[in-house]
Every structure is written in C-alpha cells, then in structure tokens.
Amino acid sequence: MRQFATITVIGRDKTGVIARVTAFLFQQMANIEALEEQVTRGQFSMTLQASWPNSDCRAAALRAGLDQLAQQLGMEIKIRFTEPNRRQRFAIMVTKEWHCFDALLTAHHRREIKADPVLVLGNRPDLAPLARKFSLPFARIPWTDRARAEARALRLLEEQGIDFVVLARFMKILSPNFVWRFKNKIINIHPSLLPSFPGPQAYRQAYESGVKIAGVTAHFVSMRLDEGPIIAQGSFQIRPGMTLKDIIARGQQIEADVLVKAVKLYLGKHLDVYWGVVKEV
C-alpha cells in the first residue's frame, strides 16, 4: 500500500523553487508522480503529486519540513494527503440558477455519484433552502471583494478537507490564485460548445448568430475564462421558430445532464489532462 499526497506551491517567482521542493521530498523518500508548474505575471504556481510506501511516509515530518521551506522561500506550500480508496469530498459553488445544483444532489441521493458533497458555497442566498433540503451546510460569501471572498472560500474548503469543486452555474470568475490550489479539480459547466461563445451571454450569442446547433461544455477551470480542458459536451438542434427563451430552457436541461456526466467521469478516474487536453483512459 502507498500513501499519496498533492502539494501546491504558490508565490512570487524566484530561482530554485522546484529544486528546493523536490530535493526535500527526495530526502523524505518520496516518489514524484507528476509535476506541473507555471509562471503568470510573476506569480509562480506548482502542483506536485507524490507517493510513499506507507512505512516511509512520516506525515508530521513532511508538514513541518514544508512549513519551514515555505518560510525560507517566502511562499505558500500546502500538502493534502489522499487515500486512493477513500470516497472523495466535494464542494458545490452556486449563484441563483438551481437546475445543475439540483441535478447533482439528486444524482448523489440516487447513489449515482460516488463521492460526498459536504459544503455549498453561494455568493447569493437563493439556493440555501435547496441545500437545507438535502441536509447540506450553506455558506454565503458575498463576492463584492473577490480577494477577500476567495480567501474565505479557500479557508472553508481547507477546513472541510475538500478534494474537488463543482461550479453549478456559479456566475463569478475565479482568480489564478484560487484555481492553482485545485489544479484540474474544479469542474465548470458552460452554456455553449466551447471554444465558441465564451462569456456570460452564450445562449444569446448563439441565438443572434443564427447557429443551427447549440450545446454545453463541462470543463476543468483554468487561468483563462471558459478555456479549460474539455471533459464532456452535449448539443441540441435549434429548430425554426425557437425563441431565445426556448433555447435557454433546452440548454439548461442538457447543462444538468452533462455536468453530472463530467463528475462521474472524473470520479471514475477515466480522465487524464495532457498538454491542456482531457483524454479518457
């Protein structure tokens, strides 16, 4: 049996960070399973996956050593241990549209989603009653100040031991500072067949452009708006005479189905992200 962990490193870019972190992990008998780093506007971000034989994993020493290294580098370093056979815990982020949120909770109630929703975060109070219906805690976080809102959300996610996040029509943009802490672990649903029609008015853009086929896209959230690796898509024909209201109603039905499908694919460990493209394995 092996122990697995994900380590995130975030801070101002500087020389030698990767070498310092990996050297420490090698000293701790770690095997580096995967490593991805990026520098965006002078901000360094790295996500690293490591494993140990259970007999070699000393969690307390790892945490203490990484905390000391974080102070030396002037960066944030976090480690999250994961157990391959443990049911994952996820958070759902919402605004006011209920259809995707309800579909996720209904699928979980029917035991179709083999993970546990443990927290609902909303920038509005609209969906608190639906969360209570399914006995889930609801935390309202106003998004007027994004930095403060994201800091509070991240604290709650860490306190609850969240493994991944689902955006069920959450109508706010997440910063790179947030996204890098859950690299390829934030699933979003967008109301268009990406890369066409990014942004908040996708159905209107499709209607005004006169397209004959519209659809939705479930994808991992990345640094760029509505450009993350695609997990699943669904489409429908726009028939003559369909109004914008008709298109939105049909699209919302498919949004719910495709988002649930994406979560199932993610949990089934059938996905791998390679050079920004999701491949089923």
DSSP 8-state symbol, 193: S
163 is catalytic: no
Catalytic residue among 56, 126, 163, 226: 226
In the chain, where do the E strands start and end?
2-12, 31-40, 43-53, 76-82, 89-94, 116-122, 138-140, 164-167, 186-190, 213-220, 230-237, 271-274, 277-280
User: Is the preceding peptide bond at 195 cis, omega within 30 degrees of 0?
Assistant: yes
Compute the 3-state secondary structure of the chain and give helix, strand, coil in percent, each to the nearest 5.
35, 30, 35
CB 220 within 8 A of CB 231: yes
Active site residues per annotation: 226
